[in-house]
Chain A
Amino acid sequence: KNEVEQSPQNLTAQEGEFITINCSYSVGISALHWLQQHPGGGIVSLFMLSSGKKKHGRLIATINIQEKHSSLHITASHPRDSAVYICAVPYNTDKLIFGTGTRLQVFP
């Protein structure tokens, strides 16, 4: 069993739809990262959160430390949101353990 699990693995949506990606983890953590990876390969940090909720534009991330669960929401999705979204948790010396990623495709 992976220490970080994401669902769904693949997600397709129509432009404008509300999207939710889920992440569950089994290790004790101080914070959780949501990352975005575009087809070119570069990784962008979207959020780092340790409690509650954070919002940046159309992106919202929530975390429940007790339940070891986090969600990433995208409101009013757009084709440019198409990417792989990765949940990652720092472990031990803060090295990141990555989830398997959720591949999102948003169609016009």
Chain B
Amino acid sequence: AAGVIQSPRHLIKEKRETATLKCYPIPRHDTVYWYQQGPGQDPQFLISFYEKMQSDKGSIPDRFSAQQFSDYHSELNMSSLELGDSALYFCASSLGDWGLGNEQFFGPGTRLTVL
């Protein structure tokens, strides 16, 4: 069965550069969540989309933006990268609107290293 795909799997950037992380949800899933997991930290919610509209926003810096496209894939754009942005970025997808406790399926993550 198709799973959540994230690209790239690894990314190395310098400070002040920009990065774009991509997430391809499971086919027919219409909801995407982005999480950030710093070294030794719990994953933290960044932002989510349902049917191409932002549905919730967490502790996402203003330097970051994201969107969900018509094919339901999502991109997380990160600008003016800082050392503290080095983390594992997970995308998860689910089917249906929030409030239903829908199961989330996680991608393998993108490991971003900022030098």
One of B17-25, B76-84, B93-101 contacting the partner: B93-101
Contacts of A101 in B (CB 8 A): 42
CB distance B35 to A33 under 8 Å? no
Cα–Cα, bound, A93→B54 (Å): 11
| The one of A50, A94, A98 that contacts B99, using a Cβ cutoff of 8 Å | A94
Contacts of A96 in B (CB 8 A): 33, 35, 43, 45, 92, 104
Cα–Cα, bound, A45→B102 (Å): 12
Most buried by B among A33, A50, A98, A100: A98
Question: With A35-B106, A43-B106 as given contacts, are A93 and B56 in contact (CB-CB < 8 Å)?
Answer: yes
Q: B64 near A: Cβ within 8 Å?
A: no
| The one of A41, A45, A48 that contacts B111, using a Cβ cutoff of 8 Å | A41
CB distance B88 to A95 under 8 Å? no
Chain A residues numbered 43-101 whose CB sits less than 8 Å from any CB in chain B: 43-45, 48, 50, 86, 90, 92-101
Question: With A41-B88, A95-B56, A101-B42 as given contacts, are A48 and B101 in contact (CB-CB < 8 Å)?
Answer: yes
CB distance A93 to B99 under 8 Å? yes
Cα–Cα, bound, A93→B31 (Å): 11
| The one of A48, A86, A95 that contacts B45, using a Cβ cutoff of 8 Å | A95
Minimum CB–CB distance for A10 against chain B, Å:
13
Minimum CB–CB distance for A51 against chain B, Å:
11
| The one of A30, A86, A93, A100 that contacts B55, using a Cβ cutoff of 8 Å | A93
Interface readout for B23-66 with A: 1 if CB under 8 Å, 0 if not? Answer: 00000000101010100001111001010000110100000000
Contacts of A42 in B (CB 8 A): 106, 108-109
Contacts of B88 in A (CB 8 A): 41
Q: A29 near B: Cβ within 8 Å?
A: yes
Cα–Cα, bound, A15→B92 (Å): 32
CB distance A93 to B103 under 8 Å? no
**B interface residues (Cβ-Cβ under 8 A, vs A):** 31, 33, 35, 37, 42-45, 48, 50, 55-56, 58, 88, 90, 92, 94, 98-106, 108-109, 111
Listed from nearest, the 4 A-B pairs whose CB atoms lie closest are A30-B101, A31-B101, A93-B56, A94-B98
